[in-house]
A and B are shown apart, each in its own frame.
Chain A
Amino acid sequence: MVRPTRVTNSIRSLRFAAGEMTQSELADRVGMTRQTIIAIEQGRYSPSLEVAFRIARVLGVRLDEVFQYPEEVGHDS
């Protein structure tokens, strides 16, 4: 089922914090295509857990610093 993901991420800002890493460089280092990195950054694709860990490792931060999953509106926490 095609659906936009609710997972948000901070990849763009983290790339710049990591020495202005380009999308191509990040894609090469995690073994993905640049288009998929763009789709992830724009929230059009939710990567697998393994790829998410690889991205976090390349960016040198924890997984939850890269990806966030906001509470649903009206959801009791």
Chain B
Amino acid sequence: MPFEEKLTWVNASVTLMVAAVYAWIVGGRVAGSHIGDVSYQIPLLVAIGAMIALTIIGTITVSIATAIGRAVRAEVTGEGTAADAVADLDRKDERDDHIARHGDRIGYYVSSGLMLGALALSMLRSDQFWIANAIFGALVIAGLASSMAKIAAYHRGF
């Protein structure tokens, strides 16, 4: 699996996991409460921070695991040295760049479309809870769509 695809899986997994935990926590507060009284601000800020932190931790973990895997494979197969196998761990080429741009474009279209929904909510003077969560949801869905588009491109051809 290309290194860039591994990082895309990290992004997608972290986004999905954190969003699910956030939805579970805040969703539990919505039941039986007036929507204007639901405290979502701290969980939302923590969720955004957790996404950033977990993505960094995941990237470092995947990098170390990939480096160890390549070094071991080089030693076992005798194809080059372990140092050479690890030296260009983060090598990217034009295909990686094309796929990244393709995924980012998909994410942009999805987030733009969903942001119209958030805009409509604000025009309708909906509660801040719905507007904030619509924006967060749009970013989560756009991020997942971008990641899925990249992974599909790596597998189906680009």
B121 at the interface (CB under 8 A from A): no
In the assembled complex, the CB of B2 is this many whole angstroms from the nearest CB of chain A, namely: 4
Contact A31 B157 (CB under 8 A): no
Question: Given A2-B158, A4-B157, is A31 in contact with B152 using a C-beta cutoff of 8 Å?
Answer: no
Contact A43 B157 (CB under 8 A): yes
B96 at the interface (CB under 8 A from A): yes
Stretch of B28-36, B87-95, B137-145 that contacts chain A: B87-95
Cβ 8 A contact of B2, one of A28, A35, A43, A47: A35
For B37, the chain A residues whose CB sits under 8 A away are: none
A36 at the interface (CB under 8 A from B): yes
Contact B156 A44 (CB under 8 A): yes
A28-B88, A39-B95 known; 19 new pairs, CB 8 Å cut-off, are A2-B152, A2-B156, A2-B158, A3-B157, A4-B156, A22-B79, A32-B93, A32-B94, A33-B2, A33-B92, A33-B93, A39-B158, A43-B157, A44-B157, A45-B95, A45-B157, A45-B158, A47-B95, A51-B94
Contact A36 B95 (CB under 8 A): yes
A5 at the interface (CB under 8 A from B): yes
In the assembled complex, the CB of B64 is this many whole angstroms from the nearest CB of chain A, namely: 19
Q: With the chains together, A3 CA to B80 CA distance in Å?
A: 35
Contact A31 B156 (CB under 8 A): no
- Mark A residues whose CB is within 8 Å of B: 2-5, 22, 24, 28, 31-33, 35-36, 39, 43-45, 47-48, 51
- Mark B residues whose CB is within 8 Å of A: 1-3, 5, 79-80, 88, 91-96, 102, 152-154, 156-158
User: Which single residue of chain A is at the shortest CB-CB distance from B5?
Assistant: A35
Q: With the chains together, A5 CA to B5 CA distance in Å?
A: 21
User: Which single residue of chain B is at the shortest CB-CB distance from A50?
Assistant: B94
Q: With the chains together, A74 CA to B1 CA distance in Å?
A: 38
Cβ 8 A contact of B80, one of A2, A24, A48: A24
For A48, the chain B residues whose CB sits under 8 A away are: 94
Contact B95 A2 (CB under 8 A): no
Query: Could you jot down 14 A-B contacts, CB within 8 Å?
Result: A2-B153, A2-B157, A3-B157, A4-B157, A22-B79, A32-B94, A32-B95, A33-B92, A36-B2, A36-B93, A39-B95, A44-B156, A44-B157, A45-B95
